[in-house]
Amino acid sequence: MHSDAANFQLNSHLTTLANIHKIHHTLHRLNLTEDVAQESHQSACCSRAMPPRKKRRPSAGDDLSAKKSRQDSIFRKHDTSQIREETFSSKRCLEWFYEYAGCDDVVGPEGMEKFCEDIGVEPENVVMLVLAWKLDAQSMGYFTRQEWLRGMSSLQCDSTERLRNSLDYLRSVLNDSTSFKLIYRYAFDFAREKDQRSLDLNTAKCMLGLLLGKTWPLFPVFNQFLEQSKYKVINKDQWCNVLEFSRTINLDLSNYDEDGAWPVLLDEFVEWYKERQMS
């Protein structure tokens, strides 16, 4: 009897363990299914939220929009360039000219004096010679309407203030050897009387002093030579050779070739200077 009761309890206990095992197995399967379902659901949601990217063909509207954008860019560049060009006003420049010309079409000596005063430059300052060269003025002390407009346009100056701001540039032009040579040659024709082929000696000395006085150490003695010489005028060949002489001949004249193609004027200067040094 006791044995039967023990068997019954054992069987009951095994049955309970089996049921627990089944329940655990079932719950395990259910958890796996839910995980898979959740992953599938999330994947489907992502697919709906972010569809695969495809290359979109540009529509006609896009082409027109891109073309318009390029045209706008070109227009802006052109417009900016045009604005820069229009910063100089011919009308304003002409009004500025007549402040000194009065009712005439040329700025004469009186107007030139006022002009120099306004820009803060002495009439005999070398920068005025450079300005005249820029304007391609034909007569010293005069600026015609055409010369003014052409030259001031090239400098982009249409007012006193703008020209004042350009004075340093005009002075710097003299530092370029090629430009200086052009200005030097221009000075001869600019300063001479138009009915004369040569430059009178006094004017020549003033112009030489303006152009070479601060850069050629021998200028003071050359100027003295001219003052005591027989020369009353300087021709263009002599004028041009003085510049070449100042650039190539040593201060002690040691490399001067008397048999070279120098004008007689310079041969006489070298002879006079050497005699002066010896005495």
In this structure, is residue 254 part of a structural domain? yes
Q: Which of 276, 147, 279 is nearest to 268 (CA)?
A: 276
Q: Are residues 274 and 202 in the same domain?
A: yes
Question: What CATH number is given to the structural domain containing 95?
Answer: 1.10.238.10
In this structure, is residue 75 part of a structural domain? no
- Sign, CA torsion 103/108/114/118: positive
Q: Are residues 216 and 265 in the same domain?
A: yes
Domain that residue 117 falls in = 88-175
pLDDT at position 35 is 44
In this structure, is residue 80 part of a structural domain? no
- Mean pLDDT, to the nearest integer, of 136-157? 96
pLDDT at position 102 is 93
| Stated pTM of the model | 0.68
- What mean pLDDT is reported for the chain? 81
- Number of structural domains in the chain: 2
In this structure, is residue 124 part of a structural domain? yes
Q: Are residues 124 and 92 in the same domain?
A: yes
Question: What CATH number is given to the structural domain containing 226?
Answer: 1.10.238.200
In this structure, is residue 38 part of a structural domain? no
Q: Which residues contact 223 (CB under 8 A, 6 or more apart)?
A: 205, 208, 209
Q: Are residues 203 and 267 in the same domain?
A: yes
Strands 233-234 and 106-107: unpaired
Q: How confident is the model at residue 80 (pLDDT cuts 50, 70, 90)?
A: very low
Percentage of residues of the chain with pLDDT beyond 70: 69
pLDDT at position 20 is 54
In this structure, is residue 150 part of a structural domain? yes
Cα 263 from Cα 244, distance rounded (Å): 11
| pLDDT tens, position by position, 99-123 | 999 999 999 999 999 999 999 999 9
pLDDT at position 190 is 96
CA atoms within 13 A on the CB side of 236: 10
In this structure, is residue 265 part of a structural domain? yes
- Mean pLDDT, to the nearest integer, of 121-131? 96
- Mean pLDDT, to the nearest integer, of 209-237? 97
Q: How confident is the model at residue 177 (pLDDT cuts 50, 70, 90)?
A: very high
In this structure, is residue 180 part of a structural domain? no
**Structure token pair of residue 178:** 């090629």
List Cβ<8 Å contacts ≥24 apart for 109-115.
109/141, 109/142, 112/141, 112/142, 112/143
